[in-house]
Structure 1
């Protein structure tokens, strides 16, 4: 059983929501997987707007662990498991944020 936990760090940085619907978790993965991930650090400003991670029952380590900075014109996402960075914008960004809200 997988559960995605989401922290809206602007609204309430000490609490988080959970996404348990496997179809939604798969869709989020479908959004972030094809991004053009790179090894070099990308510019961010301040603290991230969202932090979200995937956990599996019985495993102590996070399967996936992301932070998202909402910036114009390109937002930045970091994959902490793979230590990769990517820009995200347009419809993929809007859809991802809708799931994280």
Structure 2
């Protein structure tokens, strides 16, 4: 008789990454989470760096500006456009998120 395979899967949020030991100790086989959590796991246990198996989606990130502040919105857009154009936005994504910006950004 063939034995049934066992697989442990866990979702790890940014809030729980400090308290959930599974990704660090090998108690789980797979985790589903964002790249910020994966970077934290990699830094805390370099011997168990997670490998991406499947990308579920690119999560957008927004900069919020109150309505009625068009000058501030324009300034934020100028800063982001300049950072994208000079490569510093990509450099920061690689440094902090450990992956490049999406091609369609």
Q: Higher helix proportion, which one?
A: 2
TM surpasses 0.5:
no
TM-score range, shorter chain: under 0.3
Q: Higher strand proportion, which one?
A: 1
Which structure has the larger Rg over C-alpha atoms?
A: 2
TM-score, structure 1 as length reference: 0.23
Q: Which has the higher contact order (CA 8 A, sep 6+)?
A: 1
